[in-house]
Every structure is written in C-alpha cells, then in structure tokens.
C-alpha cells in the first residue's frame, strides 16, 4: 500500500486502533504537546524570547501547523496561566481539611510546597509573565490569584479570632506566607540534602512560628 494513499484517504477512526497511525495524523495528541512545549520554553527563556518556530520545532512540526492549535502566541500564554491557577484552586479545595485553624495552616503550607514543586515551569510563568499579558487576560489572571491569596488570609483570620494565632496584620501575614513557601521553588532540587517531606516539615514549623503559634 502506498504512503500517499494512506495520507490522502479519509478513513473511519476505528480503523487505526492498535495500528501505526499515518504520520500526518496526530489528532488529540499534538495539541497537548504544543501546550507542554510552550510551557517548558516560556519558563526557560521567557515568553518574549521564544519564537513560534522554536515551539514548533520542539513539537516536531512546522511553524504554520501551530496555528491549528492556538489562534496566536498570546492565547497560548494566557491559557497556560489561567489553567494553572484554576488547577491550583481546585486542588486546594480537594485537600482543605477544614476545622482546626492550626491544622489548616500546616496543611496549606505542605500543600502549597508540594503543588508548586510539582509544576515549576507553570509557577515560574504565572509569576514572571504577568507583564506579557494583554489587559483582558491580565485581569482574569489577577482575579484567580487574589482568590488563592484569600485562602491563607481566611485561615489566619480564623486563627487570630480563635486566639490560636498572633500576627501584626492578617493580609501581610498571608502574603508573607505565600512568598516564603513559593520561594522553595527557587532553590529546591530533587536529590539534594533534604527531600520534599523534610522540607515541608521545616517550612510548616516556620509557618507556625511566623504567625505566633506557640
């Protein structure tokens, strides 16, 4: 059977199950690969420094073919950032233990470190490329970011109200906590002196001390 016939003729999808797919067809898998390549390259070199050709080359397709998966470069960036923050919010909702405020604080600290260490590229982009967003996307991302900041803020407010925590200012305490925890991404490397669990434990203790938990 000639390759040209394979490529040119439409066939019912089921015919390809378990078979080598014709090389021109990657329905459903190229999209995610474009996304992954963009995330990796944007994090490594910065949005402005990465060309659509670089992304295409990383995926293994031509530059023109990229535009079947995103209308433009800007949309590629803004979708990465929005999806990252929405996933972050959903993930916390799924693990929030509720109840005791000190327990929630510790759970938040451990969750934040774990989630962020698992996605260093997305985290870096979400913090560094805000300036590369057009106004509309920027506003949407800011809203999501503020919703996440409200999480530790709520925990601290409850903790102070319950007399379990002492902090000069709840809002500042939340910002300080997030900055401290996110900072782990700048130095942690797998295989280093301390593993993730040890790091989580140490930071959870510092988080407690920071807000006056005796």
Q: Which residues would be at the binding site for DNA (CB under 7 A)?
A: 4, 7-8, 24-28, 30, 50-54, 56, 60-65, 67-68, 71-74
Query: What does 194 bind: a copy of itself, DNA, none (CB cut-off 5 to 8 Å by kind)?
Result: a copy of itself
CA atoms of 91 and 87, how far apart (whole Å): 6
- The nearest distance, CB 33 to a copy of itself, in angstroms, is 23
Regarding 202 and contact with a copy of itself (CB under 8 A), the answer is yes
Q: Output the six-digit token pair for 206.
A: 């510092």
- Residues in 167-196 that interact with a copy of itself by CB under 8 A: 167-169, 172-173, 175-176, 178-180, 182-184, 186-187, 194
* Sole binder of a copy of itself in the list 41, 47, 77, 153 (CB under 8 A): 47
205 lies in the site for a copy of itself, by CB under 8 A:
yes
**Cα 143 from Cα 182, distance rounded (Å):** 19
- The one of a copy of itself, DNA, none whose footprint includes residue 178, by CB under 5 to 8 A per kind, is a copy of itself
Question: 22: buried, middle or exposed (CB in 10 Å: 19+, 13-18, 0-12)?
Answer: middle
> Which CB sits closer to a copy of itself, 16 or 127?
127
List the end-to-end C-alpha distance of the chain, in Å, as a whole number: 76
Of the candidates 70, 184, 173, the one whose C-alpha atom is nearest the C-alpha of residue 123 is 184
184 phi and psi angles, rounded to 5 deg: -55, -35
| CB-CB contact of 207 with 112 (8 Å) | no
Binding of a copy of itself at residue 65 (CB under 8 A)? no
Label residues 73-85 b or e (16+ Cβ within 10 Å = b): beebbbebbbebb
In the complex with DNA, which residue's Cβ is closer, 77 or 105? 77
Count of residues of this chain found to bind a copy of itself when the rule CB under 8 A is applied: 35
Residue 73 interacts with which of DNA, a copy of itself, none, CB < 5 to 8 Å by class: DNA
């Amino acid at each position: 059977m000639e390759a040209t016939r394979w490529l040119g003729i439409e066939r019912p999808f089921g015919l390809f199950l378990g078979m080598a797919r014709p090389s021109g067809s990657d329905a459903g898998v190229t999209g995610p690969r474009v996304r992954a390549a963009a995330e990796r390259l944007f994090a490594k070199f910065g949005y402005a420094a990465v060309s659509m050709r670089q992304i295409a080359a990383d995926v293994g397709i031509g530059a023109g073919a990229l535009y079947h998966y995103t209308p433009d470069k800007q949309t590629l960036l803004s979708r990465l950032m929005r999806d990252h923050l929405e996933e972050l919010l959903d993930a916390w909702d799924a693990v929030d233990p509720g109840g005791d405020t000190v327990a929630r604080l510790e759970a938040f600290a451990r969750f934040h470190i774990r989630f962020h260490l698992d996605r260093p590229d997305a985290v870096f982009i979400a913090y560094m490329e805000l300036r590369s967003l057009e106004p509309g996307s920027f506003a949407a991302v800011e809203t999501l970011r503020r919703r996440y900041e409200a999480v530790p803020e709520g925990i601290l407010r409850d903790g102070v109200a319950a007399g379990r925590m002492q902090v000069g200012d709840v809002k500042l305490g939340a910002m300080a906590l997030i900055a401290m925890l996110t900072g782990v991404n700048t130095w942690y490397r797998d295989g280093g002196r301390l593993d993730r669990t040890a790091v989580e434990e140490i930071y959870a203790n510092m988080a407690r001390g920071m807000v006056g938990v005796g």
